[in-house]
Structure 1
Amino acid sequence: MENKEYAGFWIRFGALLIDLVIMAIVLYVPLSLIYGEEYWIGDKLIYGFWDVMLGYVVPFVATIWFWLHYLGTPGKMAMKLQIVDASTGGKMRTGQAIGRYFAYILSAVPLCLGFIWVGVDQRKQGWHDKLAGTVVIRNTGKEPV
């Protein structure tokens, strides 16, 4: 893989910030308009149909769709990152994408150590990457004009 390198912690963190801004605008502004202030300060686990759809279903479906079709979310695409199969360097399979999504929970639960692991690992894999058999690579080549 010429002009490719493993993507480290900080560039992946930058991609996450881009994704969070997009999610806030597309998902959480509408949820705030639908449910009001109670959505953010209330103690309910689920507020209704739109909470389930915009808070859980749409992020899951959109993330998997972006990973399978564009090898990354909009934030990763903006940073020229791609999520690929660790053994082949090609597109990840649907099962890998779904497994990677749910493995985020395991990366997050113990004080986000699974994400911090990206900064320590030789191949820059977080726990979710290791469990799903994926790596995040960065294109270092120049784009033609």
Structure 2
Amino acid sequence: MATAKKGLDSWLSATLDFFLSIIGFIIVWYPAVSLGNAILGFPVSASTSNLLVGVLAFGGSYPVIAGDWSLGQLGEYIFVLFASAIGWGLVGMTAVLASGVSISGSNLAPQAAVWVAAYLTAYIVVYKIQRSIFR
């Protein structure tokens, strides 16, 4: 009976990890896909864009379950991604205010630059430097 309970706990744990990693990858992929779709002039509908995010999240969740990636690292990546998006946004806003340049609200280039910098910062901090944020 202990083996059956351990098997059920293992299955439930893996299923929870799978669903949490899907949610995490949706959070990671949604800004990039939706902004990319907007920059390209909305070549696909919003529902197709959301489907693409779902497929990317589902496919990206496999390495978390297989053991190559850690659910904790994904959480750290999400945290650093949004913290660096806020930080780079503040840096960009300060630079725009200090230079006196006016930027149209419909121009997506500054927003894209902030997100690219945030994705690169999060990747470098979490995966290249392997800095642990929560330990």
Larger Rg: 2
Q: Same fold (TM over 0.5)?
A: no
Pick the structure with more strand per residue.
Answer: 1
Q: Which has the higher contact order (CA 8 A, sep 6+)?
A: 1
Greater helix share, 1 or 2?
2
- TM-score normalised according to structure 1 size: 0.28
